[in-house]
Amino acid sequence: MFKNIFLKVNEGDFWFSVRNNCNRLHEILQGGIIATTNHSLSFRMLRITLILVAIVVISCGRQKEQIPAVPAMKTDSRKVIIYQVMTRLFGNKQTLNKPYGTLGENGVGKFADINDKALQAIKEMGITHVWYTGVIEHGVITDYTRYGIPLDDADVVKGRAGSPYAIKDYYDVNPDLANNIPDRMKEFEALIERTHKHGMSVLIDFVPNHVARAYKSDAKPKGVIDLGEFDDNTVRFKPGNNFYYLPGQSFQVPADYVALGEGHEFPTKDGKFDETPAKVTGNDQFTATPGIDEWFETIKLNYGVDIENGRTKHFDPVPDTWVKMKDILVYWAGKKVDGFRCDMAEMVPVEFWHWVIPQVKAVNPEIIFIAEIYNPDAYRNYIEQGRFDYLYDKVLLYDTLRLLINKERSTKDIAAIQQRLNGINANMLHFLENHDEQRIASRFFAGNPWKAAPAMVISATVDRGPVMIYFGQEVGEPGEGTEGFQGDDGRTTIFDYWGVPEHQKWMNGGAFDGALLSEDQQRLRNFYSTLLTLSAKHEAIVEGEYEDITAFNIENKNFGDDVFACVRYTSGKRLLIVAGFNATPRKINVSVPQEIAAKLSLDVGKTYSLKDMLWQGDELTVIENAVQVELPAYGAFIFEIE
């Protein structure tokens, strides 16, 4: 009934949203925030206060939370294939790559660099969704003060380009990414429109667990109350607060953190950051002196969980943080973003996701939510109660495949994973690279990108779940070099300005034609394109059933435990998938057990042809439900049974 109340107190203007902040207004009226200069309310102010109390009682008393039903996901004839782009790196053409180099020295990619040519080339790989990483504004050690953007404090920014997961304004975009800084939001909106024009959907990060220590929104819409603006910072925990506090203590930058490294200066670099009382660090560290390995540049958001007292939950009334984060999601949904990859989603109570996701999907029923989550025991809860569409499958499939590449696991373990995930397999997002993981081609992982080909085939075809690749993966980018804060660790930096050399060869100065790639790199990229396109569209992969035949063949000594085989099938299409982690070529036999052959409508008395869908090689013949395969080193095949 009442949407907003405007109240003028002591020449200060405050907006209160009764609809969303009844609990906050109750606190204000109880005297926690409103005061007069003589510490007493005038008769006129008392009358206003009583009226406000009446409004709160009426509006909040009548308000009953109505969570809309989650609309069923639209069935589609394609599988979700995600291409992750580190936006600031993707279009960068500079090649200097100086450790801790400035934007002027090392360069930076722009929204505009991801042009029609780039998007068409991405689309041709079978990609359905582009995840633009690092879009929302975070701290950077670049001077934008002439545009009204204050300098960030170097002592709480990691690297020179800053972590994209230390958000400093949820309602703005990173100025680094714009050609014309004042038009930065318009430039991102244009990128969304371009991506949609090429038939792909747009994903961005939503970082719900923590924000930058210097968080302050200067781009928030009118009427939005900033995070922490009305917190009671005299207590460690209060359900209506947005942050957790350490009263009587001041934050101290880790003593061994040298912002920008030795020999690099910046006006705000002095080893200090003024924060009293100190706020709790993003990874739940209740200390004013977090270590350098903690998430010291971030502060934890309070979702109504009293962490220090047994993680007791205070969800009635709905915590203020819930409402503010919902408004942020709805804001970006209004920008025609098609989905959110939710950073460290399991550090936020599942009850919040249960509450918020249906409300965002009421704005756009087709929007998708992906959870970064690392606890397999919580998977079903975050799908069934939390209402996520997809979850990271890092701890089970990724970890197993990585160990298989390095000869430390058995291919029989894959069937056990699929069985454990029975019923939610289609909700698991598979990958071999992303911004957190080491590059396949790095010396820390496989060294040779082709060694991961069988793992990639399994990731893309093992079930109906989505699959993702990271830009540069398709051309064997090794993530070499000491970029700055992150060091030489086999990952492409997320903290510093940098060029990505092998990706730049494909980019070819903005032609996006791969003209500078080696013959082997072109072949690798063709492999990814063929695999992802097939996975996105083939009926048996998109909607088919799965049967593992690995253990049967190992027990019958057809091949060793470094070879994987399964079948994917519908009533109309049948695939045999074989993937080998063998270091040398070998000849193997693959047999289909009789009970599975019956499901495939294979008659033991008939012969069938196998069409090579991945390499377009010679057809093979299935006799008595068995076939002999020449398996190259780290080879993989997708055969259609005809």
627: which DSSP letter? Answer: E
- Mind giving me the DSSP string for 118-187? HHHHHHTTT--EEEEET-EEE--SS--GGGTPPPP-GGGSSTTT--TTSEEEEEEE-GGG-SSGGGHHHH
Mean pLDDT, residues 408-427: 98
First to last CA, the chain: 65
In this prediction, residue 64 carries a pLDDT of 45
Burial of 583 (0-12, 13-18, 19+ CB in 10 A): exposed
Q: How many CB atoms lie within 10 A of CB 441?
A: 26
pLDDT tier at 9, thresholds 50, 70, 90: very low
Q: How many CB atoms lie within 10 A of CB 362?
A: 16
Q: How many CB atoms lie within 10 A of CB 407?
A: 10
Q: CA 206 to CA 332: how far, in whole Å?
A: 10
Q: CA 121 to CA 131: how far, in whole Å?
A: 15
Q: Give the pLDDT confidence of 191-245 residue by residue, as tens digits.
A: 999 999 999 999 999 999 999 999 999 999 999 999 999 999 999 999 999 999 9
Any bridge partners for residue 621, and if so which?
A: 609
Instruction: Check if the beta carbon of residue 549 is closer than 8 Å to that of residue 477.
Output: no
- Helix, strand, or coil here: 316? coil
Q: How many CB atoms lie within 10 A of CB 555?
A: 9
Instruction: Check if the beta carbon of residue 7 is closer than 8 Å to that of residue 14.
Output: yes
Kindly state the helix (H) or strand (E) to which residue 52 belongs, with its residue range. Answer: helix 43-62
Query: Considering the chain, what is the average pLDDT of its residues?
Result: 91
Going by C-beta distance under 8 Å and a sequence separation of 6 or more, which residues neighbour residue 359?
67, 68, 326, 330
Instruction: Choose among 472, 397, 466: nearest CA to 441.
Output: 472
Q: CA 101 to CA 84: how far, in whole Å?
A: 24
Q: What are phi and psi of 368, to 5 degrees?
A: -120, 150
32: which DSSP letter? Answer: I
CA distances from 625 to 405, 446, 561, 562 (A): 29, 35, 21, 22
Q: Which residues of 422-436 are buried (b: 16+ CB within 10 A; e: fewer)?
A: eebbbbbbbbbbbbe
Q: CA 296 to CA 290: how far, in whole Å?
A: 6
Q: Give the pLDDT confidence of 551-585 residue by residue, as tens digits.
A: 999 999 999 999 999 999 999 999 999 999 999 99
Q: CA 449 to CA 331: how far, in whole Å?
A: 40
pLDDT above 90 (res 393) = yes
- Helix, strand, or coil here: 306? strand
Q: CA 143 to CA 130: how far, in whole Å?
A: 29
Taken in order of first residue, the domains within the chain and their CATH numbers are: 4-62 (no CATH), 81-212+318-537 (3.20.20.80), 542-641 (2.60.40.1180)
Any bridge partners for residue 212, and if so which?
A: 298
Instruction: Choose among 491, 371, 519: nearest CA to 435.
Output: 491
Instruction: Choose among 462, 465, 469, 418: nearest CA to 577.
Output: 462
Cα 92-98-99 angle, rounded to 5 deg: 110
**What are the start-end ranges of the H helices in 314-411?**
320-333, 350-363, 379-384, 399-405
Instruction: Choose among 159, 158, 141: nearest CA to 149.
Output: 141
pLDDT above 70 (res 308) = yes
Mean pLDDT, residues 608-635: 97
Which is higher by pLDDT, 16 or 524? Answer: 524
pLDDT above 90 (res 320) = yes
Instruction: Check if the beta carbon of residue 300 is closer than 8 Å to that of residue 243.
Output: yes
Q: CA 604 to CA 453: how far, in whole Å?
A: 32
This prediction's pTM: 0.91
- Mind giving me the DSSP string for 413-471? HHHHHHHHTTTTGGGEEEES--TTSPPTTSTTTTSSGGGGHHHHHHHHHSSSS-EEEET
Q: Give the pLDDT confidence of 44-101 residue by residue, as tens digits.
A: 444 444 444 444 444 444 344 567 776 655 556 689 999 999 999 999 999 999 999 9
Could you give the percent of the chain with pLDDT greater than 90? 88
Instruction: Check if the beta carbon of residue 83 is closer than 8 Å to that of residue 122.
Output: yes
- Kindly report each contact of residues 281-289 with a partner whose C-beta sits within 8 Å and lies 24 or more positions away, as own/partner: 282/209, 282/210, 282/211, 283/210, 284/347, 286/236, 286/244, 286/246, 287/246, 288/246, 288/249, 288/250, 288/251, 288/252, 289/252, 289/254
- And the tokens for 323? 């409402």
Instruction: Choose among 514, 600, 598, 591: nearest CA to 554.
Output: 591
Could you give the percent of the chain with pLDDT greater than 70? 88
Q: Give the pLDDT confidence of 455-498 residue by residue, as tens digits.
A: 999 999 999 999 999 999 999 999 999 999 999 999 999 999 99
Classify strands 129-133 and 81-86 as parallel, antiparallel or unpaired: parallel
Q: How many CB atoms lie within 10 A of CB 366?
A: 12
Mean pLDDT, residues 608-616: 97
In this prediction, residue 72 carries a pLDDT of 58
In this prediction, residue 68 carries a pLDDT of 73
Mean pLDDT, residues 133-156: 97
In this prediction, residue 159 carries a pLDDT of 98
Q: Give the pLDDT confidence of 530-551 residue by residue, as tens digits.
A: 999 999 999 999 999 999 999 9
Burial of 365 (0-12, 13-18, 19+ CB in 10 A): middle
For residue 597, the one-letter residue type is: A
Residue owning tokens 């300098």: 151
How far from chain centre, in Å, is Cα 348?
Answer: 15
- And the tokens for 139? 């701290």
Q: Where are the beta strands (DSSP E) in 495-606?
A: 545-548, 563-569, 574-580, 586-591
